[in-house]
Amino acid sequence: MTVENGGRGAAKALPDTSDSGINGLTALDKDNVAFQCLRNGIRGICTMTFTGNGMQFLTDAKVTAVHPARCGDGIAFTSFEGGKPGIWLMKRDGSRKTRVTGGQSGYFPACEPKATWLAYVTFPEGPPRIEVVATDGGNARVSLGPKGGYYPAISPDGRTVACALPNTAPGSKWHIGIYNVQGGTEVGNWEIEHSLDAPPRLRWTPDGAAVAYLADDGNGTNVWLHALKSGREERITNFADSRIYSFDFTPDGSRLVCAKGSDDVDLVLLTAR
């Protein structure tokens, strides 16, 4: 799969999205995106169409909310309601907001395709840890090994979770690990050759054939693919003048939306072919 962008086609900047998406975005379907936005200086969750119409603020203007994730017919997100970060769910119109992590802190939610459970990151004493919880608020259980990880991404078949594994040694590179949801067995692990300093955001391609991640080979932060069968690494965007903060594929794989910029950050829509 290739992506048309500034170097090989057209990249469309969505209007009225300056300083949006740094703390996450998600393609809800082939026509709509949810993203972290700013309202009166407070980060919240907004939605709009890919044509730039119908922008809506979904969260409380006085409470910080970040990390939106597609979750069935709703949106999972991190909210600081009550002063403690936790994972919440809401409908796409912002109604029926419900906390699903109880009193436990949580960040970076990722929903499985049927939206019956989600994975998230918690920070107990020591390394970060990825846990899963039923979307109806059932008990959480540790899903991954003791290394923990960042930015969980659930495979399209719902069987495995990919995450960015910490680089604990000075000068070491980030790894991507893949774990079975049942039992937490590691089934894949590889080093990111062109690692960023910070943990890279991850996505699965909609066909489940590759894991996408952010890396910088000296030509800017871009989206790369790691093909699971061949191990081939491929850069699929070509933004040399700015940094990508977050990205997502539409469920049908026809589009890729990125939050990119240097001083100012905009949402940019790309068309796959």
149-184 per-position pLDDT tens digit: 899 999 999 999 999 987 667 677 889 999 988 878
The alpha carbons of the chain give a radius of gyration, in whole angstroms, of 17
Instruction: Read off the pLDDT band of 79 (50, 70, 90).
Output: very high
Whether the pLDDT of residue 5 is over 50: the answer is no
CA distance 234 to 262: 23
**What pLDDT score was predicted for residue 62?**
92
Could you tell me if 221 and 201 are in contact, meaning their C-beta atoms sit under 8 angstroms apart? no
Whether the pLDDT of residue 227 is over 60: the answer is yes
- Percent over 70 (pLDDT), the chain: 83
- pLDDT tens digit string along 27-62? 999 999 999 998 888 899 999 998 888 889 999 989
Strands of 155-242, DSSP E: 160-165, 175-180, 186-191, 202-204, 210-216, 221-227, 233-235
pTM score of the predicted model:
0.89
For 16, the token pair is: 């009225």
Alpha-carbon dihedral sign for residues 194, 249, 72, 62: positive
**What pLDDT score was predicted for residue 46?**
93
Which positions ≥6 away from 152 have C-beta within 8 Å? 108, 110, 119, 120, 121, 130, 161, 162, 163, 202
